[in-house]
Amino acid sequence: MSTQIKKKPGLGRGLSALLEDAGNDVNAAVNAPIGHVSMVPIRNIEANPFQPRTEFGAAEMEELAESIKVHGVIQPITVRKMSADRFQIISGERRTRASQLAGLTQIPAYVRVANDQDMLEMALIENIQRSDLNAIEIGMSYKRLLEECNLKQEELGERVGKDRTTVNNYLRLLKLPDTIQLGIKQGVVTMGHARAIINIDDPDTQMRLYAQMIDNQLNVREVESLAKATKEGKTYDFPKGTDWDPEIDRITEEFYKKLNTHVHLKNGAKGKGKIIISYKNREDLERILSRIQD
């Protein structure tokens, strides 16, 4: 296969112009100027040691590779220049892997210089904002930003565009037993399920509630009731049969991510229902309104 990526209409005139002089000249790519987009040989690029994403789904990679075969790499990756002919990924490892799978030998890359501290922060923040990381990976990324980049929670919130409560909710997930964290990563339960039992201090009790949650296919609201009954020393009557709908839980979770407040979806007949949004005070209500209008 030619070392030149055929320019596709999807690249746009601006990016095509930036790559026009670099496409045929491997030496020019290897000596790519700082602050510009160049075609960089994939063999000269190494993985990001600070990559927060730990899993790349095979089916997802195949789908992206097929898209790249048709449209090319629409959004350049970002790399730092290590030496005259070596580059390290800051963001875009998924695109790089898919490009290799698609048989490409070069990839458009924005070249910059960064020290390890800056690179860690950039890589973590860019991946949090651009990738569909699971809640545990996001929590781990937040933790690394706090510990390794010496950020305070307020500073972290400003960097990632989240308020302190949201940041703290993700960090608290990391205190759950490993089995529950794995369940979140694998999509067995949602972050909403996990939040419902996170206020239980005893890990053994958390695991018991987790097992009951799975066995009875409880929705988030039911898990909240179960956790409350457990804390109060009361007996919880598990529902006979279930109308649990994982899609409703997923939508509820998306509402929480968007609004950072409890949202309850009440299902009625024929697909109708109500959305109940909780707020603490008038200021919180204004905050929620501004997020809805974004």
Which candidate, 40, 39, 36, 44, places its Cα nearest to that of 110?
36
Asked if 181 and 136 touch (Cβ cutoff 8 Å), the reply is yes
Would strands 106-112 and 87-91 be described as parallel, antiparallel, or unpaired?
Answer: unpaired
> Where is 40: in which H helix or E strand?
strand 37-41
> Where is 275: in which H helix or E strand?
strand 273-277
Residue 167 tokens, joined: 């940041």
Asked if 245 and 219 touch (Cβ cutoff 8 Å), the reply is yes
Cite the beta strand spans of 69-217 per DSSP E: 77-81, 87-91, 106-112
Asked if 145 and 156 touch (Cβ cutoff 8 Å), the reply is yes
Q: What share of the chain is helix, strand, coil (3-state, %, to 5)?
A: 55, 10, 35
Distance (Å, rounded) from C-alpha 178 to C-alpha 181?
5
Distance (Å, rounded) from C-alpha 134 to C-alpha 131?
9
> Which residues are part of the catalytic machinery?
93
Token pair 């989240």 is found at 162
Measured CA distances, 17 to 7, 30, 32, 71, 108 (Å)? 10, 18, 15, 17, 12
CB count in 10 Å sphere of residue 57: 11
